[in-house]
Amino acid sequence: MYKFIEGGVTAPQGFTAQGICASIKPSNKTKRDLALIYCDVLCNASAVFTKNLVKSDAVKVTQKHLENGKAQAVIVNSGNANTCNADGEEKAEKMCEIASDVLGVNKSDVIVASTGVIGEILPIEPIIDGCRKMRGTLSKDGGTNAAEAIMTTDTVKKETAITMTLGGKEVTIGGIAKGSGMIHINMGTMLSFVTTDASISSEMLDCALKEAVEDSYNMVSVDGDTSTNDTLAVMASGKAENPEIVEKNEDYYTFVNSLTEAFKVLAKKLAKDGEGATKLLICSVNGAKSKQDAVKISKSVICSSLLKSAMFGADANWGRVLCAIGYSGADVDVKKVDVSFKSAKGLIDVCKNGAGVLFSEEKAKEILLEDEINIIIGLGDGNGKAEAYGCDLTYDYVKINGDYRT
């Protein structure tokens, strides 16, 4: 139903982008920290945001601009979150104004986002100068520069693109994301900008986004902290010229499925690149009484600091998995729980029916030394299943966050 391809946010028809170093932090002289994404037509658009009561003013401005379900451009900076500032909303609107001038779009059709340190005044002059420098430079190749420009403590760029067929037409979805720490996504510092050339109404795009986010981004946790700036925005140009999706028909569900898979790729990249992380943790739960119970358990496990520490040390301490299941709030019979650890080095059973089984510590260590670990939990209670994404907890996480601001 879908196929992954090379590319990112500029893969769909109609979209170009660019990212440059604007030196928003005076100490930054080389890293890209300002990005523009543009479509040559007005798009149907939707977004979901952080549920933290403390929100960046960029979030508030974008929420206002998307009330009509339309957008044509994105401006985003890293290095400063523009949060908890007296002039934050004024600065966010100014960013939209300069983007509208450079790109020739309406100010109200610009999505704005910021990421970085909270509580520091956003310097607007480097953003104005940087935007003007990008005039005329946006291109199909500029998407990867935009992906770099939104990074903060990220160590790698996060991009993906996927194609599917809707109504006999090839449709593409492309996206970029950033996030390494302060990630416990509950949308409903992670930023993601997704584009598509699908023809889909604003109402159906909004429905598709909210469905896709539940099994992807909302299943990620790095450190249990929900950012003040979380923004996931989607723009649809309609340039694929498929029959417009205006109801929940077969094409709609094909689109949702592809959107979900694209989000999952980016979600895993976020988790694997968690601050200081050395391993991606995937907790797969099956046999729960309900999907809700499976979600609670999978997220409880990947959020456990004790379990995350054990995975860093390649210690098959399965009791920490049972402990996290027990306090998850899920309706579960702990005497039916099975636990296994799996990686590229193989699979090992460590718990059956809520009790330990004999296993080779040497084999377990070999499995857990890999950089991607699947924690497989069977509950034997029903058909509910879920998958959550996290990372190990290392010394470097504390080092990074011990002096993040200074």
Three-state SS at 3: strand
| pTM: predicted TM-score of the whole model, two decimal places | 0.91
Residue 297 structural domain: 280-402
Q: Could you tell me the CATH number of the domain that includes residue 109? A: 3.60.70.12
Boundary-marking domain end, from 233, 254, 272: 272
Boundary-marking domain end, from 219, 254, 272: 272
What ranges in 229-360 are assigned the alpha helix state H?
Answer: 250-272, 291-303, 305-312, 319-326
Same domain, 66 and 210: yes
What ranges in 304-390 are assigned the alpha helix state H?
Answer: 305-312, 319-326, 361-368
> Which pLDDT score, from 0 to 100, does residue 170 have?
98
Same domain, 130 and 218: yes
- In whole angstroms, give the CA distance from residue 212 to residue 394: 31
Same domain, 147 and 267: yes
Mean of pLDDT over the chain:
93
Q: Are strands 231-236 and 191-196 parallel, antiparallel or unpaired?
A: parallel
- CA-nearest of 154, 156, 192 to 174 is 192
Boundary-marking domain end, from 239, 272, 305: 272
Same domain, 203 and 234: yes
The string of pLDDT tens digits covering residues 169-200 is 999 999 999 976 555 555 445 799 999 999 99
- CA-nearest of 213, 233, 16, 220 to 8 is 16
At 292, give phi and psi (nearest 5°): -60, -40
Same domain, 59 and 198: yes
Same domain, 233 and 288: no
Same domain, 68 and 216: yes
The string of pLDDT tens digits covering residues 136-174 is 999 999 999 999 999 987 888 999 999 999 999 999 999
- In whole angstroms, give the CA distance from residue 244 to residue 29: 45
Same domain, 140 and 224: yes
- In whole angstroms, give the CA distance from residue 174 to residue 172: 7
* Helical pair 291-303 and 305-312, crossing angle rounded to 10 deg: 60
> Which pLDDT score, from 0 to 100, does residue 249 have?
97
- In whole angstroms, give the CA distance from residue 24 to residue 403: 19
Same domain, 291 and 367: yes
- In whole angstroms, give the CA distance from residue 313 to residue 310: 5
Please give the structure tokens belonging to residue 61.
């401005």
Q: Are 404 and 290 in contact (CB under 8 A)?
A: no
Percent share of the chain, pLDDT over 90: 82
Q: Give 3-state DSSP helix, strand, coil % of the chain, rounded to 5.
A: 35, 30, 35
Number of domains, the chain: 2
Q: What is the pLDDT along the chain (406 residues), one digit of tens a residue?
A: 899 999 999 999 999 999 999 999 989 999 999 999 999 999 999 999 988 888 899 999 999 999 999 999 999 999 999 999 999 999 999 999 999 999 999 999 999 999 988 899 999 999 999 999 999 999 999 999 999 999 987 888 999 999 999 999 999 999 999 976 555 555 445 799 999 999 999 999 999 999 999 999 889 876 555 667 789 999 999 999 999 999 999 999 999 999 999 999 999 998 888 777 899 999 999 999 999 999 999 999 999 999 999 999 999 999 999 999 999 999 999 999 999 999 999 999 999 999 999 999 999 999 999 999 999 999 999 999 999 999 998 888 778 777 766 6
Instruction: Report the DSSP beta bridge partners of residue 355.
Output: 352
Three-state SS at 293: helix
The catalytic residues are: 189
Question: Length of the chain in residues, anyone?
Answer: 406
Same domain, 114 and 202: yes
Sign of CA dihedral 344, 347, 348, 351: positive
Same domain, 154 and 235: yes
Same domain, 205 and 312: no
Rounding to the nearest 10 degrees, give the CA dihedral for residues 67, 70, 75, 79. 40
Q: Could you tell me the CATH number of the domain that includes residue 351? A: 3.10.20.340
